[in-house]
Structure 1
Amino acid sequence: MVMAGPEPKVRGVIYGRSLDFKPPPPAVDVLGSPLKLTDVEYVRVPQKSWRDQLRLFLQSSGLTTIPMAARLRWQSHDVLEWLQASLLGRGRGRRVAVTHPVQLMPAIEFLMGLPPELEIERRLLHTLIGRGLIEYRKRMSQARERPLIFAKEANGHFFAGFKEQQLVSKVSSPGEQFQAVQRIYNSYYHFRCLYIFAIISREPPDHASKLFSKFMRASFFLSTIQDDGTISSKPAYRQLPPKEHVVFLAKRDSALQARLREDEQLRAELQGLLRYFRPLRG
């Protein structure tokens, strides 16, 4: 009889559990019916010709290269078609019933990484996503019978995560620490999403009290969380947001821009921090 050896350790699993890196939004924040925009004009985008399809095939086969701008333009058209199908109910894209803005995050992250030469595509995507966020905010405000403000919601999630972060080092049980780390991750994850929603929907800066600084703090802490729920002493820089995303938010955060205009030291600190973020491409 052969005795079985110890089971191999599976990365990201502890006590039969692994961290959920895409936590769902709170059930109370999910709409009962999908978002539907009725006052946004449908935009027709050019379809790929057979020559374009051939170039893509040759690119995937490694036989030729397509300029990055051309590939991103085609991708932006695909994202726009998906958004229009899901939010307008029109177009050739695959439809998804959007009941919470977190479902728009792949499109938002694509938008934040677009280069300047695709400004037209960026504006189209920004307008459609922004209108979707505004419609969600309107419907949730009606359901709650009080205004929903993304920036205020973001602040609440940040402080919940920060409070738990201050206590996690005092937890001795590995199982309890795992659960605490998951709660911290959830709070910071939703904080980052809500902060981005506030920027994309162009909320006024009244409720955005140093949210960019909190975004940076949360991003660095999240990059220290390991797959198995432990916390590293150093950030994993590949887990930080791309540099283009950080710059996108910094340029559009009106509260931050007001502080930068008055504080030369803050400008220098921000420039210094940007060196820690990797470029999205290159």
Structure 2
Amino acid sequence: MRGVVYGRSLDFRPLPPGPDVLSSPLKLSDVDYVQLPQKGWRDHLRLFLQASGLTSIPISVRLRWQAHEVIDWLQSSLLARGRGKRGSITHPVQLMSAIEFLMSLPADLEIERRLLHTLIGRGLIEYRKRISTGRERPMLFAKEATSHFMAGFKEQQLLSKSGSPAEQFQTIQRIYTSYYFFRAYYIFAIISREPPESGGKLFSKFMRACFFMSTIQDDGTIAPKPAYRQLPPKEQVVFLAKRDVALQARLREDDALRTELQNLLRFFRSVRG
């Protein structure tokens, strides 16, 4: 049932606050443009045959073509060069589709992963530099993530005290928005390789936020159990866990934590299976 509160449904793609949006799009001048191979006539023939149901293309080949399309889009948007459709990037959340694709790529596409990581990482660093200049103080994604998490967590603790259905709907929207941007900024911190001391135990907060967000339904109510299809794919969770320096340091010293993490990963589905 959707929109029980005055015909409304939850906003699952909230916009960033105005002060966090750049006045002009991101442009990178210190990243080299990479010329990617274009599809030949044989590739187009294979696509036609697959669309006709006469053959199938290996998943690694399809993913490589998709990666090249994402790289082309990033280069057109951030370098103003290339064949891709140009986007106007004024906030990192506009890069989330490319980031999620990067986090889900298999290891055998390492070249494409490096190119994607370089473009996205440099874009995040440039955004952080420009926002810091505007604020006249250093900005770190991990600290922004912590702030958003605490805002959502405080609202979540007060959820049972919400009065009318309309008031509860607004509270859940605020919680979702806070956790949405917490999750995004935590990912930005990992991709841009911020120092581990800039945010403590953010991975455990990430897991907590993901599970709670998966209980929020379209109509702004809370389901009794998580909707596991609403959780991020296992590949993305593993990507973050492997690159979270603070988490890796804890895992080396805490066998119980490592076992707990392995058990939690059972609840996350694979993006390709």
Alignment counterpart, residue 126 of structure 1, candidates 92, 108, 117: 117
The number of aligned residues is 273
TM-score by length of 1: 0.95
Provide Cα deviations, 1:27-56, integer angstroms capped at 9, x if missing partner: 100000000001110001010111111211
1:73 lines up with 2:48 in the alignment: no
Contact kept in structure 1, 2:102 and 2:113, CA below 8 Å: yes
* 1:274 alignment counterpart: 265
Who wins on radius of gyration, i.e. which is larger? 1
Provide Cα deviations, 1:246-271, integer angstroms capped at 9, x if missing partner: 00000000000000000010000000
Q: Which moved more, 1:164-173 or 1:256-265?
A: 164-173
- Structure-2 separation of matches of 1:247 and 1:12: 35
Identity of aligned residues (%): 75
Please list, as runs of the form range in 1=range in 2, the aligned pairs for 1:33-72 lying within 5 A after superposition. Answer: 33-72=24-63
Alignment counterpart, residue 188 of structure 2, candidates 184, 197, 201: 197
1:245 lines up with 2:265 in the alignment: no
1:153 lines up with 2:144 in the alignment: yes
- Structure-1 separation of matches of 2:157 and 2:125: 34
Structure 1 position 12, deviation (Å): 4.5
* 2:16 alignment counterpart: 25
RMSD of equivalent CA atoms:
0.9
The unaligned stretches of length 5 or more in structure 2 are none
Provide Cα deviations, 1:131-176, integer angstroms capped at 9, x if missing partner: 0000000000000000000000000000000000011111120000
Matched to 1:240, the amino acid is: L
* 1:138 alignment counterpart: 129
1:102 lines up with 2:96 in the alignment: no
* 1:181 alignment counterpart: 172
- Structure-2 separation of matches of 1:13 and 1:214: 30
TM-score by length of 2: 0.98
Matched to 2:237, the amino acid is: V
* 1:5 alignment counterpart: none
Matched to 1:72, the amino acid is: L
Contact kept in structure 1, 2:2 and 2:8, CA below 8 Å: no
Structure 1 position 13, deviation (Å): 5.2
Contact kept in structure 2, 1:12 and 1:226, CA below 8 Å: no
- Structure-1 separation of matches of 2:4 and 2:113: 39
Structure 1 position 11, deviation (Å): 2.9
- Structure-2 separation of matches of 1:154 and 1:273: 22
1:16 lines up with 2:23 in the alignment: no
Matched to 2:97, the amino acid is: P
Secondary structure at the counterpart of residue 217 of structure 1:
helix
Contact kept in structure 2, 1:199 and 1:253, CA below 8 Å: yes
* 2:248 alignment counterpart: 257
Matched to 1:65, the amino acid is: S
Q: Which moved more, 1:17-26 or 1:57-66?
A: 57-66
Structure 1 position 219, deviation (Å): 0.1
- Structure-2 separation of matches of 1:106 and 1:44: 22
Structure 1 runs (4+) greater than 6 angstroms displaced: none
- Structure-2 separation of matches of 1:125 and 1:186: 27
Secondary structure at the counterpart of residue 72 of structure 2:
helix
The unaligned stretches of length 5 or more in structure 1 are 1-9
Matched to 1:67, the amino acid is: P
Contact kept in structure 2, 1:242 and 1:277, CA below 8 Å: yes
1:90 lines up with 2:81 in the alignment: yes
Structure 1 position 58, deviation (Å): 2.0
* 1:114 alignment counterpart: 105
Provide Cα deviations, 1:2-45, integer angstroms capped at 9, x if missing partner: xxxxxxxx635531211110000111000000000011100010
